[in-house]
Structure 1
Amino acid sequence: MQVQPYLFFNGRAEEALAFYARAVGAQTTFLLRFGDAPEQPSSEACNWQPEQIMHANMSIGDSQIMVSDGAEPEAGFSGFSLAISAATPEEAQRLYDALAEGGQATMPLQETFWALSFGMLTDRFGVNWMVNCERPNFPG
């Protein structure tokens, strides 16, 4: 069994896919636009444009994240964070800086009792991230 996040970008999914490709090496593994669907939703059901993304999958390492433009305009990302692991403090810094571009740092990248490097941020799309470089042999 797997649990995979499904993120709704309210018309900015294509921009988000390109950003995450640059920032964390995400690869788009599937993409379906609203205009490509075999059956078009009624105009009352949604107000999305044919070129917008109905569904996409992106992989980051061994993880899959699903992405869409579909959601209510006032919908946001709250109550969760995506956690990404780095192999070294230098990689953690690179990931943190790339994800923070156009976003906001909420906890600077720093050493903690459990990590060689840990920080939190909200990216330009409002997605919360935790960047962690685990301390070797830390119990957990």
Structure 2
Amino acid sequence: MRLSTYLTFKGDCKTAFQFYARCLRGNIVAMHTYAEAPEDCMQTPPEHRDKIMHARLEVDGQWVMGSDVTPDCPVPFEAIKGAHITLNIDTPEEAERIFQALADNGTVQMPLEETFWAKRFGMLTDQYGVPWMINCEKEE
């Protein structure tokens, strides 16, 4: 079994996934536009044909997937509220690098710092509106 995260975007899925690939040192293994879907499968307005129907980013064997919403399938963007993507990082140095990278043009809710359970923990919302928790736990 694999547990994956699926994100929806308002037209900037491609740039978001390119950003995440840089920040997380991952590989985009799929990036399909609505224009690539068979015509009998999906009727997409012309202005959305270059938007992303499905993207998949692989990071250390884990997947983050996503797509852009369309007028005929308007997933509420606010549905992500109440959830965060949590990254459990092995070293404080890597936690700091990833936190700073994701925080670029984003909003920090809790600076990355030592806590009673973690060498480093911090919370932010990136420039695409996706909330993240970065956690580098202390040894038990």
Residues 1-140 of structure 1 aligned to structure 2 (within 5 Å): 1-39=1-39, 41-42=42-43, 49-70=48-69, 72=74, 75-76=77-78, 77-136=80-139, 138=140
Q: CA offsets, 1:9-28, max 9 Å, x none? A: 11000110111011111211
Q: CA offsets, 1:113-132, max 9 Å, x none? A: 11111111110011110101
Q: Show structure 2 runs of 5+ residues with no match.
A: none
Q: What CA distance in whole angstroms lies between the structure 2 residues aligned with 1:122 and 1:131?
A: 11
- Residue identity matched to 2:54: H
Q: Retained in 1: the 8 A contact 2:88–2:136?
A: yes
Q: How many residues align?
A: 135
Cα RMSD (Å): 1.8
Q: What CA distance in whole angstroms lies between the structure 1 residues aligned with 2:96 and 2:9?
A: 26
The percentage of aligned residue pairs carrying the same residue is: 39
Q: Retained in 1: the 8 A contact 2:8–2:75?
A: no
TM-score by length of 1: 0.87
Q: What CA distance in whole angstroms lies between the structure 1 residues aligned with 2:10 and 2:68?
A: 5
Q: CA offsets, 1:24-49, max 9 Å, x none? A: 11211112110000135235xx6752
Higher helix fraction (1 or 2)? 2
Q: Show structure 1 runs of 5+ residues with no match.
A: none
Q: CA offsets, 1:30-80, max 9 Å, x none? A: 12110000135235xx67521111011111222111110125386233110
Q: What CA distance in whole angstroms lies between the structure 2 residues aligned with 1:66 and 1:57?
A: 4
SS of 2:2 mapped into structure 1: coil
SS of 2:35 mapped into structure 1: helix
- Residue identity matched to 2:59: I
